[in-house]
């Protein structure tokens, strides 16, 4: 156990009873405890949405970012102190919609951050508009006659942009999800965990029962370092089949490992960046 014996519990969550966020919040906290972190040893950056409200429910250093901007903030923190574990906790609307461009560039840069996405396929906080992962034809307040666009496949999206760790978990299986999140945080480089999560209040299609009939755990003999096989596996969600587990993982130098300016020290260990008087003088 970590020295402070903390379980990362913050304020009591205000999520709707039965929401998948409860399972995800529990899995994140369990993963951090099992990795032996204390709350002062990690930073969590949150997006906007029901998932982002976890900013108050997780006892750790946290930033509640602008909508869609959690990833660049996390990358900035990582550049300042690349020894610090940085996790990003966002929803599908925030990360695959407003922040979709940042996701692509974080993956191609192999920035060493862990992006955990609560994917409920709807904008829950604003009471049920269609999101980038809603299925074509999905009827919502914003698409009463049915969604005309195809849904984004976040797994194939980041795989084709160079992501070095891609996984999928389910909010209804906390133990399995905990193991996936632990592996993602332990991975050196960019990691994405797409978590299937029912929104019991505003998505009456993608329910627990819906997912129970369509999820399955990846076989223990599944090989995780074959990109072509990973793309085939990730494509299954286009047919509404949801493989759970680590779909792809490979080791590759991270952005900060390749940055020669950070070979010896972190930025915050360099006097130019930690001594504000010196820094200000450069602009006077
Ligand atoms: Fe969960 Fe949906 Fe309620 Fe938000 S609106 S807390 S996603 S059930």
Give the tens place of pLDDT for each residue, 209-230.
999 999 999 999 999 999 999 9
Name the phi and psi angles at 240, rounded to 5: 60, 40
Helix, strand, coil percentages, rounded to 5, for the chain: 35, 15, 45
Residue of higher predicted confidence among 115 and 7:
115
At 116-138, the pLDDT tens digits run 999 999 999 999 999 999 999 99
Measured in Å, residue 199 CA sits from the centre of ligand 1 at: 5
pLDDT band at 273 (very low <50, low <70, confident <90, very high): confident
Atom of ligand 1 nearest to the CA of 127: 5
Atom of ligand 1 nearest to the CA of 124: 5
pLDDT band at 5 (very low <50, low <70, confident <90, very high): very low
pLDDT band at 3 (very low <50, low <70, confident <90, very high): very low
As a whole number, the mean pLDDT across the chain is 95
pLDDT at 1: 45
> H or E stretch including 195?
strand 191-196
pLDDT at 231: 98
Domain 21-282, classified CATH 3.40.50.970, yes or no = yes
**In Å, how far from its chain's centre is CA 23?**
15
- Among 130, 200, 204, 205, name the best residue to mutate to test ligand 1's pocket (greatest count of ligand atoms within 8 A of Cβ): 200
pLDDT band at 177 (very low <50, low <70, confident <90, very high): very high
- Among 13, 24, 25, 125, name the best residue to mutate to test ligand 1's pocket (greatest count of ligand atoms within 8 A of Cβ): 125
pTM, entire model: 0.96
Q: In the chain, what are the domain boundaries? A: 21-282
pLDDT band at 281 (very low <50, low <70, confident <90, very high): confident
Percent of all residues in the chain with a pLDDT value above 70, rounded to a whole number: 98
Nearest CA to ligand 1 atom 1: 19
pLDDT at 259: 95
What are the Cα distances from residue 12, in Å, to 3, 16, 99, 188?
24, 12, 28, 32
- 251-273: average pLDDT: 93
Nearest CA to ligand 1 atom 3: 16
Measured in Å, residue 50 CA sits from the centre of ligand 1 at: 6
DSSP string, 114-162: EEEEEE-SEETTTTSEE-TTSPTT---SS-TT---SPPP-HHHHHHTTT
At 88-114, the pLDDT tens digits run 999 999 999 999 999 999 999 999 999
| Cβ < 6 A, ligand 1 pocket | 15-16, 19, 21, 50, 120, 124-125, 199-202
- Nearest CA to 203 out of 148, 94, 128, 113 is that of 128
pLDDT at 284: 86
Contacts (Cβ under 8 Å, ≥6 apart) of 202: 122, 124, 127, 128, 140
């Amino acid at each position: 156990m970590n020295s402070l014996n903390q379980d990362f519990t913050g304020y009591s969550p205000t999520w709707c009873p039965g929401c998948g966020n409860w399972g995800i919040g529990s899995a994140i906290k369990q993963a951090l405890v099992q990795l032996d972190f204390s709350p002062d040893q990690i930073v969590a950056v949150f997006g906007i949405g029901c998932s982002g409200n976890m900013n108050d429910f997780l006892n750790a250093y946290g930033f509640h970012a602008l909508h869609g901007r959690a990833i660049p903030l996390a990358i900035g923190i990582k550049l300042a102190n690349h020894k610090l574990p940085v996790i990003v906790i966002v929803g599908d609307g925030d990360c695959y919609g407003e922040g979709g461009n940042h996701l692509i560039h974080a993956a191609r840069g192999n920035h060493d951050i862990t992006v955990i996405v609560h994917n409920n396929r709807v904008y829950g906080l604003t009471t049920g508009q269609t999101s980038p992962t809603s299925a074509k034809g999905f009827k919502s307040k914003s698409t009463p006659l049915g969604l005309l666009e195809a849904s984004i496949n976040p797994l194939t999206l980041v795989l084709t942009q160079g992501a070095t760790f891609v996984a999928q978990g389910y909010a209804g299986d906390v133990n399995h999800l905990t193991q996936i999140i632990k592996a993602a945080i332990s991975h050196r480089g960019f990691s994405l965990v797409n978590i299937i999560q029912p929104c019991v209040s505003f998505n009456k299609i993608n329910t627990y029962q819906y997912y129970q009939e369509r999820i399955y755990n990846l076989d223990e003999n599944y090989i995780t370092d074959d990109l072509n096989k990973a793309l085939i596996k990730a494509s299954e969600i286009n047919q509404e089949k949801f493989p759970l587990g680590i779909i792809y993982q490979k080791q590759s130098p991270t952005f900060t490992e390749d940055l020669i300016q950070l070979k010896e020290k972190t930025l915050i260990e360099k006097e130019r960046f930690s001594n504000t008087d010196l820094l200000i003088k450069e602009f006077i």
